[in-house]
């Protein structure tokens, strides 16, 4: 009887230990969105697409980010270079910097026809920020980093409405 009790208890300890060891797994730090998906006509979310685009910033159709403003829930980016506003696309990696002020990174990419690109054309491209942050948060609490997908340039719209631009 005593041997049977020790044997049962040992089996239970081994089973619980195995369950505990194999039940624990490392949590992913980033969003699981390897396959990009469309949030809006000009907004894609995809972590790997974001990284690949970030590494490949050297386009013959280089545009310049001139101004970034926020109008209600819409981010408006004025650029010099392109053919029309519909030729631009934003790519979001799906991440949100949660420390204050919270932040979002977007890559802006020209997807138009090379022959239609006019380096002197100025236009404003808009993206709906509620598609990114949802209804639960105020867009004014975020800073938005707009990364130029054609060359090394980042324009940051701060929560107070000021903009800073970095070029290399």
pLDDT for 101-156, tens place per residue?
789 999 999 988 888 999 999 999 999 988 888 876 788 888 999 999 999 999 99
What is the pLDDT, as a whole number, of residue 137? 76
Please determine, for residue 28, whether its predicted confidence score (pLDDT) is greater than 80: no
Averaged pLDDT, 151-162: 91
What is the pLDDT, as a whole number, of residue 30? 47
Domain range enclosing 138: 37-167
Please determine, for residue 76, whether its predicted confidence score (pLDDT) is greater than 80: yes
Residues in CB range of 131: below 8 A, 6 or more apart: 39, 40, 43
Quick check: is 126 in a domain?
A: yes
Quick check: is 16 in a domain?
A: no
Quick check: is 90 in a domain?
A: yes
Averaged pLDDT, 33-38: 74
Structural domains of the chain, count: 1
Quick check: is 43 in a domain?
A: yes
Quick check: is 23 in a domain?
A: no
Q: Report how far residue 100's alpha carbon sits from residue 18's, in angstroms, rounded to the nearest whole number.
A: 41
3-state secondary structure the chain: CHHHHHHHHHHHHHHHHHHHHHHCCCCCCCCCCCCCEEEECCEEECHHHHHHHHHCCCCCCCCEEEEEEEECCEEEEEEEEECCHHHEEEEECCCCECCCCEEEEEEEEECCCHHHCEEEEEEEEEEECHHHHCCCCCHHHEEEEEEECCCCEEEEECCCCCEEEEEC
Quick check: is 8 in a domain?
A: no
Quick check: is 155 in a domain?
A: yes
Average of per-residue pLDDT values in the chain? 83
Quick check: is 133 in a domain?
A: yes
pTM: 0.75
């Amino acid at each position: 009887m005593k041997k049977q009790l020790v044997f049962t208890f040992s089996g239970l300890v081994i089973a619980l230990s195995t369950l505990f060891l194999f039940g624990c797994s490392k949590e992913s730090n980033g969003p699981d969105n390897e396959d990009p998906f469309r949030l809006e006509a000009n907004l894609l979310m995809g972590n790997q697409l974001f990284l690949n685009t970030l590494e490949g910033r050297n386009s013959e159709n280089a545009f310049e980010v001139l101004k970034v403003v926020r109008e209600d829930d819409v981010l408006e980016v004025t650029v010099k270079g392109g053919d029309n506003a519909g030729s631009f696309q934003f790519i979001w990696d799906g991440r949100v910097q949660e420390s204050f002020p919270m932040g979002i990174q977007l890559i802006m990419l020209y997807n138009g026809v090379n022959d239609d690109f006019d380096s002197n054309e100025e236009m404003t491209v808009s993206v709906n920020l509620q598609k990114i942050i949802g209804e639960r948060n105020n867009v004014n609490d975020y800073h938005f980093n707009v990364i130029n997908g054609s060359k090394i340039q980042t324009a940051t719209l701060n929560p107070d409405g000021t903009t800073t631009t970095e070029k290399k």
